[in-house]
Amino acid sequence: MFLLLLLLPIAVQLAGGDLRNPWRTFQMALYVCSAWLVYRMSGSTAGRLLGSHSWSLLLGITGNIAVLFAVLQQFHLPLFSGFEVFPIWQAFPVAFAGMHIQQNMQGLFLVLVCMPLWARAMSETKAWPWWLASLLPCAGLLATSSRGSALVLLVGAAMLLWISTSRLGAALRMVGVLLLAGAISHYWHMYPEITGLEATLTERMASVGMQGRFFVWEMCWRLFLEHPWLGIGAGNLMSYGTEAIPVLLSSHPEYAAVASVMIGGHANAHNLILQFLMEWGVLGGAAIIGLIGFVAWRVIGLLHSRSTDLCEGRVQAGIGSAMMLLHGMFSVSMMQGYFVVLLALYSAALFVPVNVSSGPSPRFSLSRLLILMIPALFVIWNWQLFVTREWRAEDAANLSIDDAAFARDVGAAVDNPWSSRAALQWYIGRMVWEHEPARIVASENFIYRYWMMHQGTLSLRYLILLAHLKDDTYAERRWSALFMAAYPEHRLSPYLKEHLAHGHAEGEAIDLGL
C-alpha cells in the first residue's frame, strides 16, 4: 500500500507531461523502489543483522573512522599522498561533516552509530569498550554543531534508559561520555583554523535561528495548497524555489533577509511531511504520515515492554527508525539515498518478525527470486552509471572548454538525465569563466534547461547575463525584477536596480559576480 501511494502520483505526474523536471521525478521513483526492494529482500534477516554483535562492531568502527576523517579534513591534514582522489571531500571541510559534506547528515549518522554502542554497553558485563567506542562519535557529533542531531541523540538516550533496568548507572556513564566528548569538541574548536569559522553547538543553541526553517515551511505549505491533489512533482521543489519566494514575501516581508541568504536552502522542505505533501500531493502525504504512525505505534509498544532486550534487532530498529524520522522533521537528511536505504532496512527489522523456527527451510522459488533480483539489478545499474558519469564530468570540469576530454565527459553528462543538472552548471560556469559570450548566447536552451532544473540565484544570474549579451532589454528587466523581488537584501539587488536605471542604457558591462 505504501509503495502504491507513492508510485501512483508519480505515474500520473509523468503521464500528464506537465512536470518541470520529469527526470528528477523518475529518479525519486527509483528512490522509492530501491527502498521497497531493500525492505522486501531483507525480510526477517534484517532483525537478526541489527541485533548482531557484528553490526554494532561495524557501526562503531565506521563511525570512528568517519569522525577521524572529518577531523583530518577540517584541519587540512591529508592521510596520504594522492588524497586528491576524493576532491569533493577535500574541498568542503564544513562543520566537521566529513564525507557526508553536510553537518546534519553527519550528525544523524553518528546518532545511529551511538545507539547500538550504548545498548551493548548497558547490556554486557564488559561495558567499558563500548562506552569508549562511542566517545569519538559523540565528540564528532557535537563538533558538527547540529542542533537537530544533538536533540535526536538525547531522545534516543532517553528511550534506551526507559527500557533499561539499570537506569541510574547507565545515565551517569552516558553523561560522563558526553562531557568528555564535549571537552574534545571544545578543544577542536579552539584552534585558529576553526575559531570564528564554525559555530559551536552552544553558540548555535543560543542563536536559535529557526526563521530559515519557518520561511521554507511556509513556502512549501503554499505550494501544497496550490497543487493539493498530485503535488508539484516528486523532487521538483528546486524547480519552483525562486518563483515561489516573491509571493511569500508579499505577505511576510520579515523573511526578506532569510530569503536573500538561504542560497539553495529551498531545494528541500526540511520536513518530511511537508516534502511529501507538496511534491506527491495528498497520497504522498498519507503515505509518509502512515509510515510515521506505524513506526510510532511499534516504538511505543517496545517502550511499554520493559523486559525487552536492548540489543534485540527489533529494539535497535525501532529506535533507529524513530531517530531518522524525527531528524527528517527539520532537516534534509531523509531525502538522501543512503538514509532512505537504512530506513528501509530498519523498517524490515521492525515490522517483519524474525523467523526462529527450527523446521525445514522454505522451498526455493526461482520466480520469486527473479521478481526481486531483476528490478534490483536495474536499480543498481542505473545508480552506478549515474555516479560514474557524474564523477567523470566533475573531473573534466576544470579543463578548458576546448579540451576534447571536457567535450566528451561533460557533454555526455549533460545529455544524460541523471547527471544533467550538475553537468549543466559546470558547462555554463566554464563558459562564463573563460569569457565566451558567443557560446553563452548559443547555449540559450541549456541555460533555460538549467533554470528549470534548479531555480536559485546562480541560474537566475545566468539568465540575466544571457539577456544582457543578447541585448534583450525586456528579458533582462524581467529576470532582474524577479531577482530583486525574491532576494531583496542580496548584495546584487541594489546593483541590478542601478544598472537597469542607468547602466544598461549607457552600454555598461554587467557584473553579476560569476
The per-residue pLDDT for range 105-114, each reduced to its tens digit, is 999 999 999 9
The mean pLDDT value for 166-185 works out to 93
pLDDT at residue number 38? 87
pLDDT at residue number 485? 93
- In angstroms, the CA 46 to CA 40 distance is 10
pLDDT at residue number 262? 67
- In angstroms, the CA 9 to CA 4 distance is 9
Residue 303 has pLDDT above 60, yes or no: yes
Cβ atoms 510, 464 nearer than 8 A: yes
Residue 285 has pLDDT above 50, yes or no: yes
Cβ atoms 116, 57 nearer than 8 A: no
pLDDT at residue number 140? 93
- In angstroms, the CA 409 to CA 395 distance is 9
pLDDT at residue number 413? 87
- Which residue has better confidence, 166 or 94? 166
Dihedral over Cα of 423, 103, 268, 215: its sign: negative
Return the number of other C-beta atoms located less than 10 Å from residue 344's C-beta: 21
pLDDT bin (cut points 50, 70, 90) of residue 348 is very high
- Read off the C-alpha cell for 90: 577535500
pLDDT at residue number 268? 84
| Burial of 118 from C-beta contacts in 10 A (0-12 / 13-18 / 19+) | buried
- Which residue has better confidence, 483 or 305? 483
Structure confidence by residue, pLDDT tens digits, 22-70: 888 888 888 888 888 889 888 878 999 999 999 999 999 999 988 988 8
Nearest partner of 291 among 340, 362, 224, judged by Cα: 340
pLDDT at residue number 357? 47
Residue 323 has pLDDT above 70, yes or no: yes
pLDDT bin (cut points 50, 70, 90) of residue 501 is confident
Collapse the DSSP code of 229 into the 3-class scheme (helix H, G, I; strand E, B; otherwise coil) and give the result.
Answer: coil
pLDDT at residue number 89? 47
Cβ atoms 450, 425 nearer than 8 A: yes
pLDDT at residue number 442? 93
Buried b (16+ CB within 10 A) or exposed e, 33-42: bbbbbbbbbb
pLDDT bin (cut points 50, 70, 90) of residue 306 is low
- In angstroms, the CA 129 to CA 445 distance is 59
- In angstroms, the CA 310 to CA 319 distance is 10
Residue 198 has pLDDT above 70, yes or no: no
Return the number of other C-beta atoms located less than 10 Å from residue 11's C-beta: 12
Range from 52-56, 77-81, 259-263, 368-372 that averages highest in pLDDT: 52-56
The mean pLDDT value for 441-456 works out to 92
- In angstroms, the CA 13 to CA 25 distance is 8
- Read off the C-alpha cell for 385: 552509471
Rounded to the nearest angstrom, the gap between the alpha carbon of residue 42 and the centroid of all alpha carbons in its chain is: 24
> At 446, which amino acid appears?
F
pLDDT at residue number 88? 46
Nearest partner of 14 among 234, 264, 241, 285, judged by Cα: 234
Cβ atoms 258, 212 nearer than 8 A: yes
Residue found by looking up cell 533555460 in the block: 448
512 — phi, psi (to 5°)? -105, 10
pLDDT bin (cut points 50, 70, 90) of residue 483 is very high
Residue 265 has pLDDT above 90, yes or no: no
pLDDT bin (cut points 50, 70, 90) of residue 466 is very high
With left for phi above 0 and alpha for psi between -120 and 50, is residue 24 left, alpha or beta?
Answer: alpha
pLDDT at residue number 149? 93
Residue 447 has pLDDT above 80, yes or no: yes
Residue 463 has pLDDT above 70, yes or no: yes
Q: What pTM does this model have?
A: 0.86
pLDDT at residue number 355? 57
Question: Quick one: fold of 383-503?
Answer: 1.25.40
Mean pLDDT across the chain, nearest whole number?
A: 84
Give percent above pLDDT 70 in the chain.
84
Nearest partner of 479 among 508, 507, 444, judged by Cα: 444
Residue 308 has pLDDT above 50, yes or no: yes
pLDDT at residue number 264? 55
- In angstroms, the CA 120 to CA 166 distance is 13
Residue found by looking up cell 520493559 in the block: 306
Residue 215 has pLDDT above 60, yes or no: yes
Domain regions of the chain by residue span = 1-37+209-336+343-352, 43-202, 383-503
> At 137, which amino acid appears?
P
Structure confidence by residue, pLDDT tens digits, 124-146: 888 999 999 999 999 999 998 88
pLDDT at residue number 207? 58
Rounded to the nearest angstrom, the gap between the alpha carbon of residue 299 and the centroid of all alpha carbons in its chain is: 25
pLDDT bin (cut points 50, 70, 90) of residue 187 is confident
pLDDT at residue number 441? 93
Range from 324-328, 335-339, 495-499, 501-505 that averages highest in pLDDT: 324-328
Q: Which of 25-34, 204-213, 286-295 has the lowest mean pLDDT?
A: 204-213
pLDDT at residue number 55? 92
Q: Which of 1-5, 403-407, 411-415 has the lowest mean pLDDT?
A: 1-5
pLDDT bin (cut points 50, 70, 90) of residue 221 is very high
Give, for 376, the enclosing helix (H) or strand (E). helix 366-396
Residue 358 has pLDDT above 70, yes or no: no
- Which residue has better confidence, 320 or 68? 320
- Which residue has better confidence, 422 or 276? 276
Residue 86 has pLDDT above 50, yes or no: no
